Amino acid sequence: MKCRVCRGPAVIDVRRHNANFCVEHFVKLCRDQVQKAMREWSMIQPGDKVLVAVSGGKDSLALWDILLDLGYDVSGLYVGLGIGDYSDASATHAREFAVKRGAELIEVDLPSDYGYDIPDGSRAARRAPCSACGMSKRHVFDKAALDGGFDVLATGHNLDDEAAVLFGNVLHWQTDYLGRQLPVLPARDGFPRKVKPLVRLAERETAAYCVVRGIDYLVEECPMAAGNRHLSYKEALNVVESTSPGAKHDFYFGFLARASERFQAEAETDREDLLACLQCGAPTTTEVCAFCRLVERAGGHVEPGGPAHGPQPVTLGRGPR
């Protein structure tokens, strides 16, 4: 097996590209794919302060590593979810990477800062763990990015993730979600710009990237992921990909090129109806946002480090006050 670029010994085959790569050219391929995605979607502008959401897993650490190597002003954000040993181990991986690279890591801990954890929060709110978790993370990510003066929030969603989400949204014809499923969402009142620079890399490639770069990532999967529909969509797409290399890429990028625009008007209409949450000021479609309601039901507190402070004065650009 020879590297497509230099003909030296290859360490990985990328069937989607019908090519093999040595370590040096595989690392270059990953960086090039990230740069290509960022250019294509104008994800990060010169001088932007970037916050990367890191879980300690392969995708977020690979993304952080690549953005640091490309010279971006980038800090990490780790959110402790209170999922037992899994959270302890994921924090360790995020911290060790930050120390190794001399990079800033901002930490928010749901149990100590908000008084609840994901297992209790999901039970109290009668939501599936991943639903309570995803919603909590989105809220904390947005807040940390805005509080820290970051221009852009980057997440490690890869091609497999995006194709699986798209598959689920199409399967159930969630047309409002389809309108929002883009690799970049512009900043607007109460939300930072959100970007997904890894959309051109598959899961297997981010794992291989970490291995060849010596990045010690958390291999263990979250124990609460069992039964998650997202995993079954990934498995289904993996079956297709195994007999038809490039199918995931065509599915996702074909959607972006030829279909996503058709759903954007509906997603835009939803955005017009946003209000400021009476508790925390975050944009929401209800008086009190879903995050504050979940925290309240779980017996936590909305303001980090203390009890909820009651209605906050807020100013939003759109919607009734």
Residues near Zn ion, by CB under 5 A: 3, 5-6, 8, 22, 25, 277, 279-280, 282, 289, 292
Binding partner of residue 222 among Zn ion, ligand Q46, none, CB under 5 to 8 Å per kind?
A: ligand Q46
| Cα–Cα distance for residue pair 205/216, rounded to 1 Å | 15
Residue from 27, 43, 52, 130 that binds ligand Q46 (CB under 6 A)? Answer: 130
Q: What is residue 310's three-state secondary structure?
A: coil
Residue 118 sits in the site that holds ligand Q46 (CB under 6 A) = yes
Residue from 133, 165, 184, 210 that binds ligand Q46 (CB under 6 A)? Answer: 133
For residue 302, the one-letter residue type is: V
Q: Is the alpha carbon torsion for 171, 175, 176, 179 positive or negative?
A: positive
Task: Tell me whether residue 105 or residue 222 sits nearer to ligand Q46 (CB atom).
Answer: 222
Shortest approach of ligand Q46 to residue 203 CB, angstroms?
13
Task: Tell me whether residue 34 or residue 81 sits nearer to ligand Q46 (CB atom).
Answer: 81
Residue 224 sits in the site that holds ligand Q46 (CB under 6 A) = yes
Strands 193-195 and 152-154: parallel
**Is residue 267 within 8 Å of residue 180, measured between CB atoms?**
yes
Task: Tell me whether residue 134 or residue 319 sits nearer to ligand Q46 (CB atom).
Answer: 134
Task: Tell me whether residue 142 or residue 241 sits nearer to Zn ion (CB atom).
Answer: 142
Bridge partners, 109 (sequence order): 80
Binding partner of residue 219 among ligand Q46, Zn ion, none, CB under 5 to 8 Å per kind?
A: none
Instruction: Return the DSSP state at 202.
Output: -
* Residue of 193, 209, 188 whose CA lies nearest to 50: 193
**Is residue 273 within 8 Å of residue 261, measured between CB atoms?**
no
Task: Tell me whether residue 102 or residue 320 sits nearer to Zn ion (CB atom).
Answer: 320
| Cα–Cα distance for residue pair 181/142, rounded to 1 Å | 17
- What is the contact surface with ligand Q46 in residues (CB under 6 A)? 81, 118, 129-130, 133-134, 222, 224-225
